[in-house]
């Protein structure tokens, strides 16, 4: 039986290879930067979520060193036992203040935060309304909660409105990526919030790609919408700390009673070891850099404009996005893989994103920009893409 099972796995993997769906990992030898080292070769990388270029910032390295001297390495226990340190506590207060919410709670990862939030609040008899293009962690959270999952077409408010109105669920939650991770577009946050208020629904906003990047001083997607009532008690805000913030982790912000419910009931908060306090210590520094170094967001805006200009009228089209996530749609899986490979051979990393991460027939190159890229870096990429497009059979 065992040998059969292994043979079966091997066959499944062969099928994936034939379909151009097989995934493999690159091994980086050194820090995450605009240029990364793999197998002794240097690549220009357009594939990280380190949008502000903080993942290898010297001030963060310093504060990690300071943090480890103060708090040691491991947290040793979960937050509810004895793993909750002063660094975690201060960071929660600083994050709440930064985004203008009454209270925030750290989770180990964004994946765990989404699971914890949804399963702590909803169960059988409740309903979850989810954008079709949401991140996988939100969908998984909905399934785990046993609430009814109702998906609506991407950013389609009129369908969402009808489905909200038709629902007789006890508790309703609308959940959405604020910046869609594979498309780079921004959800109509203000209109979604108005709909939620009208229908007495909670709004879970996953700002993994907006926090630090969008809004005034990087305060995230909510602050990017001028007329959005951030004070609304309907909002539950989630953001990750391993992307623009350059470190690791995630947090949720909401009304104090909602946060207290997570501390009492969110299983992915309760039944896991706290992240090392040294990371929270470093994140306090990261938050300062996010707030103070506007040049990073300015540089991103400049590069986004440049990339869009230089890729105009190519046979492959960028999706309309004003964020550092710039997807170039090529359609077929094999084409995406071939372009990605051709770039790789010229020393440039851009990942091919294929189903099931994106819909069938919408394979793409997901170009992500960082404040550490230079105009020459972007020019190098766009020149290669133009050459490839011109000579494509
Ligand atoms: C990355 C991501 C997550 C998961 O966050 P991690 O901290 O990496 O676990 C959740 N939602 C979205 C939209 C993401 O892009």
Residue 341: CB atoms within 10 Å: 10
pTM: 0.96
Q: Are 303 and 381 found together in one domain? A: yes
How far is ligand 1, taken at its centre, from the CA of residue 20, in Å?
25
The answer to the question of residue 2 being in a domain is no
Query: In this predicted structure, what is the pLDDT of residue 339?
Result: 96
Please name every residue paired with 179 in a beta bridge, in sequence order, or none if there are none: 186
Q: Last residue of a domain, which of 235, 260, 292?
A: 292
pLDDT tens for residues 24-54?
899 999 999 999 999 899 999 999 999 999 9
Domain that holds residue 269: 58-292
Q: What is the mean pLDDT of residues 94-119?
A: 98
The best mutation among 47, 154, 181 to test binding of ligand 1, ranked by most ligand atoms within 8 Å of the C-beta, falls on: 181
Summarize pLDDT for 195-231 with one digit per residue, the tens: 999 999 999 999 999 999 999 999 999 999 988 888 8
Q: What is the number of the ligand 1 atom nearest to the C-alpha of 248? A: 7
Tens digit of each residue's pLDDT (9 = 90 or more) over 253-262: 999 999 999 9
Instruction: Report CA(110)–ligand 1 centroid distance (Å).
Output: 5
How high is the pLDDT of residue 2?
Answer: 77
Do both 280 and 315 map to the same domain? no
Same domain, 202 and 324: no
Whether residue 173 is contained in a domain is answered as yes
Q: What is the mean pLDDT of the chain?
A: 96
How many separate domains does the chain show? 2
Domain boundary among 263, 292, 321: 292
Could you report the per-residue pLDDT of 330-353, keeping only the tens digit for each? 999 989 999 999 999 999 999 999
Instruction: Evaluate whether residue 12 is within a structural domain.
Output: no
180 & 230 share domain: yes
Last residue of a domain, one of 237, 262, 292: 292
Query: What's the pLDDT score for residue 230?
Result: 82
Residues 224 and 246 in one domain: yes
Q: Write the CATH number for 46.
A: 3.90.1150.10
**Do 105 and 243 sit in the same domain of this protein?**
yes
> Which of 119, 190, 198 shows the shortest CA–CA distance to 155?
190
Could you report how far apart the first and last alpha carbons of the chain are, in Å? 47
| CATH at 145 | 3.40.640.10
């Amino acid at each position: 039986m065992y040998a059969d099972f292994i043979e079966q796995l091997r066959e499944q993997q062969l099928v994936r290879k034939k379909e151009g769906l097989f995934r493999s990992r690159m091994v980086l030898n050194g820090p995450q930067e605009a240029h990364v080292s793999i197998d002794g070769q240097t690549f220009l990388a357009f594939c990280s979520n380190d949008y502000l270029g903080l993942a290898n910032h010297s001030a963060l390295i310093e504060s990690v060193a300071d943090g480890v001297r103060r708090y040691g390495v491991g947290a040793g226990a979960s937050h509810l036992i004895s793993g909750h340190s002063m660094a975690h506590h201060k960071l929660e207060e600083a994050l709440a203040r930064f985004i203008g919410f009454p209270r925030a709670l750290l989770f180990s990862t964004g994946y765990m935060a989404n699971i914890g939030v949804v399963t702590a609040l909803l169960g059988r008899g409740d309903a979850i309304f989810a954008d079709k293009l949401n991140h996988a962690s939100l969908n998984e959270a909905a399934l785990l909660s046993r609430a009814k999952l109702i998906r609506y077409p991407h950013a389609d408010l009129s369908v969402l409105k009808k489905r909200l109105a038709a629902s007789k669920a006890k508790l309703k939650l609308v959940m959405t990526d604020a910046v869609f991770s594979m498309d780079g577009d921004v959800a109509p946050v203000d209109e979604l919030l108005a709909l939620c208020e009208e229908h007495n629904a909670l709004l879970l906003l996953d700002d993994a790609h907006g926090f630090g990047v969008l809004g005034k001083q990087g305060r995230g997607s909510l602050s990017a919408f001028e007329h959005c009532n951030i004070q609304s008690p309907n909002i539950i805000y989630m953001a990750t700390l391993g992307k623009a913030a350059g470190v690791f982790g995630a947090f949720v912000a909401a009304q104090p009673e909602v946060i207290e419910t997570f501390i009492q009931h969110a299983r992915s908060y309760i039944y896991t070891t706290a992240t090392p306090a040294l990371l929270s210590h470093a994140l306090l520094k990261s938050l300062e850099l996010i707030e103070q170094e506007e040049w990073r967001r300015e540089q991103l805006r400049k590069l986004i404009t440049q990339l869009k200009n230089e890729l105009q009228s190519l046979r492959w089209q960028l999706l309309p996005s004003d964020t550092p996530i710039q997807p170039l749609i090529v359609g077929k899986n094999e084409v995406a893989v071939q372009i990605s490979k051709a770039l790789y051979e010229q020393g440039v990393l851009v990942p091919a994103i294929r189903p099931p991460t994106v819909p069938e027939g919408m394979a793409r190159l997901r170009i992500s920009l960082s404040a550490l890229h230079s105009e020459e870096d972007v020019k190098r990429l766009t020149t290669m893409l133009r050459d490839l497009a011109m000579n494509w059979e």
